[in-house]
Chains A and B, each alone.
Chain A
Amino acid sequence: MTPLEPTSGMERLTACITEAQDRFAALLRSYLEHHGTTVDQYVRYLSFQYHLTRDVQRYFMAIAAHPDLARRRRLREFLYRFANEEELHYLVAANDLDRLGLNPLPMPFDVELWHAYFRSVVQERPFVRLGAATVLENISDGNAKSWVKRALQGPYLSRENTKFLVLHQHEALPHGDQIMDAIAQGDLEERHFDDLIEGARKGTVLYLRMAEWAVRPGGLAALADQDSLVLDAAEAERIRSFQMSELDAV
Chain B
Amino acid sequence: MICSTGRLADPAGGSPAPLRQALHECAEYPHVRVVRDFAVLRRIGHLRHEQYVQGQGKPYRSDILERDCLVEIADFSAVNIYAADASGLTAAMRIGLLEDRHQPQGTSLREAAAAAGIDPALTLVCSRLVRPATQRGRHVADLVRFVRLRTVTGGYRYCVMQTAERLVPFFRRFEFQETGCWSDDGPGGRLQVMILDTRMQPVLGRTIHHDAA
Contacts and interface: CB of A to CB of B under 8 A. Distances in A.
Interface stretch (B58-66, B117-125, B153-161, B182-190): B58-66
B38 A40 contact: yes
Query: Which of A40, A41, A103, A156 has the most C-beta atoms of chain B within 10 angstroms of its own C-beta?
Result: A40
Contacts of B71: 39-40
B157 to A, nearest CB: 23
A228 B37 CA distance: 6
Contacts of B37: 102-103, 227-229
A218 interface: yes
Interface residues of B, number: 21
Interface residues of A, number: 17
B199 to A, nearest CB: 29
B66 A156 contact: no
A3 interface: no
Contacts of B20: 101
A100 B71 CA distance: 13
Contact of B63 (A38, A103, A228): A38
A155 interface: yes
A39 B38 contact: no
Given A40-B38, A101-B35, A155 B65 contact: no
Contacts of B73: 39, 155-156
Contacts of A101: 20, 35-36, 75-80
Contacts of A218: 65-66
B36 A217 contact: no
B168 interface: no
Given A100-B76, A102-B36, A105-B38, A40 B66 contact: yes
A39 B63 contact: yes
A38 B75 CA distance: 13
A16 interface: no
Contact of B102 (A40, A43, A102, A155): A155
A102 B38 contact: yes
Contacts of B35: 101
A38 B65 contact: yes
A41 B41 CA distance: 14
Interface string B27-62: 000000001111111000000000000000000000
A12 B116 CA distance: 70
Contacts of A228: 37-40
Contacts of B63: 38-39, 156
A217 B39 CA distance: 13
B64 A38 contact: yes
B72 to A, nearest CB: 9
Nearest to B45: A40
Interface string A197-230: 0000000000000000000011000000001110
Interface string A39-55: 11101000000000000
Query: Which of A39, A43, A155 has the most C-beta atoms of chain B within 10 angstroms of its own C-beta?
Result: A39
A227 B66 CA distance: 15
B49 to A, nearest CB: 14
B100 to A, nearest CB: 11
A156 B39 contact: no
B34 to A, nearest CB: 8
A103 B65 contact: no
A100 B64 CA distance: 14
A10 B63 CA distance: 44
B83 to A, nearest CB: 18
Interface string B64-93: 111000010101111110000000000000
Contacts of B76: 39, 100-102, 156
B38 A43 contact: yes
Instruction: Report the 4 A-B pairs with minimum CB-CB distance, sorted nearest first.
Output: A40-B64, A228-B37, A100-B76, A103-B36
6 contacts: A39-B71, A39-B76, A40-B64, A103-B36, A103-B37, A156-B73
Given A40-B71, A155-B73, A156-B76, 14 more contacts: A39-B64, A40-B66, A41-B65, A100-B76, A101-B78, A101-B79, A102-B36, A102-B37, A102-B41, A103-B37, A105-B38, A218-B65, A227-B37, A228-B40
